Structure 1
Amino acid sequence: AVACPAAAIGSVDVVEATPLVRELGRERAEREHIEKRLRRSALSKADMLAAFLRKNSLGEDCQVFAFDGPDEHMRRALFRRTEPWVENPTPGSTLWHIKWCVTDCEDDYRCLQSGDLYNHFQNNRVLTTKVGLANSLRLLADRTGVDIDAFFPRCYDLSSAKQRNDFLLDFRRSAALNVVAQYHRMASEDDGEFWFNTDILHSALGALFEWLGDFGAI
């Protein structure tokens, strides 16, 4: 428990909202109310945008943007443009000409129309996530025979049983190769005297010969 003296509690300053902040809050609430009414209508997105601008006393040439993210420089850049831009602050709004957000959702793509700008593209996770990119490259290799290991680090999706088994096999082969490489390095030293577990060496060699057999090399 934290003790708070009465004198300390009484000394807390209460900061009231300035008239500008209150006005911005009222303006935002009014725009959200207008959009909710428009959503219940059977109008197209273009007609709803026109009505949104009209009901907010904005010109027909005004462009609407939705913004949700930390990139404040994008908001400032839009407000600095010559053509008029206005922000639609309603969460989840579909009334915008341009939308800038951190993450996307399917609803955003369903409401896209010709001329709309959106800082995402659909199904982007097949390229913008590690597992998506890895699986896309695996699919490419299966269909075209491209050797993806020549330009992309080997990686595995451990949530997949098949790839988990592939990882274990790759790990064992890499361990066997390291054992043989270490033996070769020690045997190549000038004095030529060293201690080495021959059972481990024979197991490693067996794994490597089996690997070569899988490739038809022996």
Structure 2
Amino acid sequence: EKKIFTVQGPYPVIRGLLRARGWVERKFHRASSQPWWQHEPSLGTLETLHAPWPPQEEEQEQCVEDPDGNHDLMSRLVQDQVPYFIWTNHCSAVNVQLLRHDQVLNHYTQVDAFATKEGLCRNLRNLPWFAQADPNTFFPRCYQLGDADERQAFIEDFRLTAARSLLKMALERAGDTLAELEQQPLKPSKEPGESKQVPMSQIPYSMPPTAGPVSLLPPRRVEEALWICGQHLASLRHHDIDGDFVFPCMMGTNWDHFMQDYYRMTHEGAGLALSGAQTEQCRSMLQCLAEHLPQLGMEGDHNVWILKPGAKSRGRGIVCTDQLEEVLQLAGGCTGPSAQVNKWVVQKYVERPLLIFGTKFDVRQWFLVTNWNPLTIWFYRDSYLRFCSQPFSLRCLEPSGHLCNVSIQKQFRTAQGQQHPQIPPDLIWSCHQFQSYLEQVGQANAWHEVMVPGMKAAVVGVLHSTQHLVGARKSSFELYGADFLFGEDCQPWLLEINTSPTMAPSSVVTRRLCARVQRDTLRVIIDRKNDPACLTGAFELIYKE
């Protein structure tokens, strides 16, 4: 019946579920003095793994119970047989070109097009060519610092964002709220169970003035910022789909002086007096820009960016900063060789995230692709939240308050002095706990009406933009883990997409959910092949061409 499988990596749940279906495991030879991949010609493996065994992951392999040794005996009997279901940590474990057409593999090739930070940064810009969707509505703008044009585009973007931020801070300190441009955090409703629309108003995340006399910036800085934003607005109004970056020519601006004064206002609390006419001009300018810049609200007014190594995972090497010079220095853009710069991408930080108990969080959302042609996408109805261990503050950009990755936060769990008492010690919530919280704060409909539809649209948009780049092998499938952040208006922002999402049970919630998503993946891939009407658990088919 072709019920022989191979699993490489720490997946005891997959092993147990397949054995329960009557499958027999063909194990890898790891005891030999030769590398194990040289013993697996039927897996199509000719080269060494890019990641050695055991995998350098958080999770460790767990033994599946076999008290009588029956499974081990059966495994020895099929060591010369072809496995028809192959589950590995990495696609690089197998030479896909040598696989038979009826061997099922849990990976596709060339998924770096969307499963790396560089790939997303590069390819999502092409989405308007493939679908009527704007990536700027769900993916914070991003630049590859190894490309000279993109590096310059980032510098221009940083400066333009500084000009907008200066106008926002000047209005805020003048007492003008810009209600229609900004976002509102969730607040408890007056009556239990009351549901209401997500309003839009300003939250003062700006740096408060320092003690003592407040210095004032030169009045011309407002006029200069208005002129810069006006030039940008004119460029945006004439932009078309063929344009890569939309930045005006601002050769007359003394950027050194402008940025020095901007930093004084942001970091030192310097003031900026506005006349009545300037106040109205600033309001009008930001309102016009909001019609063309979907990210105007979430970008805040601190000009914080997040610098990421292009091909690393688990939050390694990520830095948040609000200084242009620091970004370029950290990435090697000023003094380092170009090879070093190629490893970095820089992305606009979501300065106005939805917070729970004053704490930042993100969501790990699974989805499954079972075919690339026609594109077929399954969305998992269960997900989980990952909290930071420290309260959110733009005055402190340390990882403990800004990077939700479990690998990062476990370094800070012992220092829980500032952690909100209602944040769980393991820093994990299920999406059902989150929905209960939303109901308590008067946003009972936000999850199903705003958040989930937005995440689904983002996933479909990403895969549309990269569909032509992926190796679309018919007998393959792949489970992905997308990480989303929500803005104060509950709109989701895609951060990244991961291959081989961790199945390590780091909490009670993830122990349950990770087992379920593996169970339901096998339902879709194996059971549904024989019975199209079978249950698929929490997987929902959301797109099929």
* Cα distance in 2, alignment partners of residues 168 and 137 from structure 1: 20
Task: Show CA shifts across 1:170-207 (max 9, x none).
Answer: 11111100101111223346xxxx94432432332232
**Among candidates 48, 73, 79, match of residue 13 of structure 2:** 73
**Among candidates 166, 178, 182, match of residue 153 of structure 2:** 166
* Cα distance in 2, alignment partners of residues 99 and 78 from structure 1: 11
Instruction: Tell me how large the CA RMSD over aligned residues is.
Output: 2.8
Q: Is the 8 A contact 1:126 1:133 kept in 2?
A: yes
Superposition map of 1:10-29 within 5 A: none
* Cα distance in 2, alignment partners of residues 125 and 68 from structure 1: 21
Match of 1:86 in 2: 25
Match of 2:84 in 1: 97
Would you say 1:201 and 2:141 are equivalent positions?
A: no
Aligned in 2, Cα 1:145/1:175: closer, same or farther, shift over 3 Å?
A: farther
Larger RCO, structure (CA 8 Å, separation 6 or more)? 2
Aligned in 2, Cα 1:106/1:139: closer, same or farther, shift over 3 Å?
A: farther
Unaligned stretches of 5+ in structure 1?
Answer: 1-60
Aligned in 2, Cα 1:79/1:106: closer, same or farther, shift over 3 Å?
A: closer
Task: Show CA shifts across 1:41-86 (max 9, x none).
Answer: xxxxxxxxxxxxxxxxxxxx5643222212222122223322x413
Q: Is the 8 A contact 1:94 1:108 kept in 2?
A: no
Alpha-carbon deviation of 1:146? 4.2
Structure 1: which amino acid aligns with 2:27? N
Q: Is the 8 A contact 1:63 1:97 kept in 2?
A: yes
Match of 1:40 in 2: none
Alpha-carbon deviation of 1:137? 1.0
Aligned in 2, Cα 1:145/1:166: closer, same or farther, shift over 3 Å?
A: farther
Secondary structure of the corresponding residue to residue 99 of structure 1: strand
Superposition map of 1:42-81 within 5 A: 61=1, 63-81=3-21
* Cα distance in 1, alignment partners of residues 171 and 162 from structure 2: 14
Q: Is the 8 A contact 1:68 1:101 kept in 2?
A: yes
Structure 1: which amino acid aligns with 2:139? F
Aligned in 2, Cα 1:145/1:79: closer, same or farther, shift over 3 Å?
A: closer
**Among candidates 104, 121, 142, match of residue 134 of structure 1:** 121
Match of 2:111 in 1: 124
Structure 2: which amino acid aligns with 1:169? E
User: Once structures 1 and 2 are overlaid, which stretch shifts more, 169-178 or 96-105?
Assistant: 96-105
Task: Show CA shifts across 1:8-54 (max 9, x none).
Answer: xxxxxxxxxxxxxxxxxxxxxxxxxxxxxxxxxxxxxxxxxxxxxxx
Structure 1: which amino acid aligns with 2:4? V
Task: Show CA shifts across 1:149-169 (max 9, x none).
Answer: 122221222222222222211
User: Once structures 1 and 2 are overlaid, which stretch shifts more, 108-117 or 62-71?
Assistant: 62-71
Aligned in 2, Cα 1:99/1:144: closer, same or farther, shift over 3 Å?
A: closer
* Cα distance in 2, alignment partners of residues 107 and 73 from structure 1: 21
More helix by share: 1
Secondary structure of the corresponding residue to residue 86 of structure 2: strand
* Cα distance in 2, alignment partners of residues 72 and 106 from structure 1: 18
Aligned in 2, Cα 1:203/1:143: closer, same or farther, shift over 3 Å?
A: farther
Secondary structure of the corresponding residue to residue 142 of structure 2: coil
Structure 1: which amino acid aligns with 2:18? L
Structure 2: which amino acid aligns with 1:101? T
* Cα distance in 2, alignment partners of residues 67 and 101 from structure 1: 6
Aligned in 2, Cα 1:72/1:144: closer, same or farther, shift over 3 Å?
A: closer
Q: Is the 8 A contact 1:79 1:85 kept in 2?
A: yes
Aligned in 2, Cα 1:196/1:188: closer, same or farther, shift over 3 Å?
A: farther
Structure 2: which amino acid aligns with 1:197? P
Secondary structure of the corresponding residue to residue 10 of structure 2: coil
Alpha-carbon deviation of 1:216? 4.4
* Cα distance in 2, alignment partners of residues 80 and 216 from structure 1: 61
What fraction of aligned residue pairs are identical, expressed as a percent?
24
Secondary structure of the corresponding residue to residue 17 of structure 2: helix
Would you say 1:175 and 2:162 are equivalent positions?
A: yes
Structure 2: which amino acid aligns with 1:126? A
Alpha-carbon deviation of 1:142? 5.6
Q: Is the 8 A contact 2:160 2:228 kept in 1?
A: yes
Aligned in 2, Cα 1:210/1:128: closer, same or farther, shift over 3 Å?
A: same
TM-score normalised by L of structure 1:
0.59
Aligned in 2, Cα 1:63/1:216: closer, same or farther, shift over 3 Å?
A: closer
Would you say 1:184 and 2:171 are equivalent positions?
A: yes
Alpha-carbon deviation of 1:115? 1.8
Q: Is the 8 A contact 2:8 2:88 kept in 1?
A: yes
* Cα distance in 2, alignment partners of residues 159 and 180 from structure 1: 31
**Among candidates 211, 214, 217, match of residue 235 of structure 2:** 214
Secondary structure of the corresponding residue to residue 144 of structure 2: coil
* Cα distance in 1, alignment partners of residues 235 and 2 from structure 2: 66
TM-score normalised by L of structure 2:
0.26
Alpha-carbon deviation of 1:108? 2.5
Q: Is the 8 A contact 1:183 1:196 kept in 2?
A: no
Match of 1:9 in 2: none
Alpha-carbon deviation of 1:98? 1.7
Aligned in 2, Cα 1:213/1:131: closer, same or farther, shift over 3 Å?
A: same
